[in-house]
Amino acid sequence: MTTFDRRMMLRGGAAFAVSAAGFLRSSRTRAQANPAPEVQALLFDVFGTVVDWRNGVAREAERVLKPLGYSLDWLAFADAWRAEYQPGMEEVRSGRQPFAKLDILHRRMLDKIKPRFGLEKLDEATQAELNLAWHRLDAWPDVGPGFARLRTRLMLCPCSNGNIALMADIGRRNDLRWHAILGSEIAGDFKPKPRVYLASAEALNLKPNQCMMVAAHSGDLAAAARQGLRTGHVGRPGEGGPGTGESAPKGTFDVVAKDFVDFAAKMGT
């Protein structure tokens, strides 16, 4: 055998070893034991966990309002609108107001913040278009590859405070291919009320422990756990801007992941 042949074999063997090592590492990542084999459906929080609400609303507000001559701090506008989210839903959760889907509540929230941004003179058509900003949010980059792995074995369904039309539009925009749209509108209430989690499980003919609530918000997961659902935390540091969001959970949950690719691996998919 020539020196050239021996060198080629050595180099080929080294390349094979590197390739094999990479394959084994990949296999180990994908072959993690499923920590919740009874789970058949994943129920997702959507705003913040699956989609980037802050940058999406800021982008859409600029798209709608800038051609009309408005110049705002677009991120501050998104933050102000989102700040009305929990107070608006609490009016329903407390019984002070009858249930109304989130599209309607978002429109009421917009009315509250318009004076702060000099938007009192907006016509109705422009306000309706602006309200659709919440339908046009983009998924975080890890969602596509993570969901592609998860859907091979599990049903993927939003359990969001967003209404059905809103979730359908977000799903279509981001190719999420929900298996069903669950959450507030089928329950007639808003998270973290128990009925929202339980109605979602019932709609799938599943027991609570056959569903896993997946969220970047520990309070949402803790509420779901109290109703018997399994829980998965996905980190979203910076969700609402610098210094916001949860990179780690505030509590103990069944699965804790840094993103949806990591979550898919930890679910054994």
Of 96, 118, 135, the residue at which a domain comes to its end is 135
- Residue 11: inside a domain, yes or no? no
Residues 161 and 237 in one domain: yes
Q: What is the mean pLDDT of the chain?
A: 91
Residues 234 and 146 in one domain: yes
Express each pLDDT in 226-257 by its tens digit: 999 999 999 999 999 999 999 999 999 999 99
Q: Structural domain tally of the chain?
A: 2
Residues 45 and 67 in one domain: no
- Residue 43: inside a domain, yes or no? yes
- Residue 13: inside a domain, yes or no? no
Rounded to whole angstroms, the Cα distance separating 249 from 218 reads: 6
Residues 205 and 254 in one domain: yes
- DSSP-assigned states of every residue in 219-249: HHHHHHHHTT-EEEEE--TTTTSTT-S-SS-
Residues 62 and 189 in one domain: no
Alpha helices in 31-183 (DSSP H): 53-65, 74-83, 85-93, 102-113, 124-131, 143-150, 164-174
Instruction: Provide the residue range defining the domain that includes 98.
Output: 53-135
Residues 191 and 92 in one domain: no
Residues 128 and 150 in one domain: no
Of 84, 105, 135, the residue at which a domain comes to its end is 135
Residues 47 and 153 in one domain: yes
Tell me which DSSP letter residue 251 carries: S
Amino acid, res. 24: L
Q: Encoding tokens for residue 125?
A: 């058509």
Express each pLDDT in 84-104 by its tens digit: 999 999 999 999 999 999 999
Residue 65 has pLDDT above 50, yes or no: yes
User: Which strand (E) or helix (H) includes residue 259?
Assistant: none
- Residue 10: inside a domain, yes or no? no
Of 135, 161, 189, the residue at which a domain comes to its end is 135
pTM over 0.75: yes
- Residue 225: inside a domain, yes or no? yes
Phi, psi of 112 (to 5 degrees): -70, -35
Express each pLDDT in 176-232 by its tens digit: 999 999 999 999 999 999 999 999 999 999 999 999 999 999 999 999 999 999 999
Rounded to whole angstroms, the Cα distance separating 218 from 211 reads: 17
Rounded to whole angstroms, the Cα distance separating 64 from 102 reads: 21
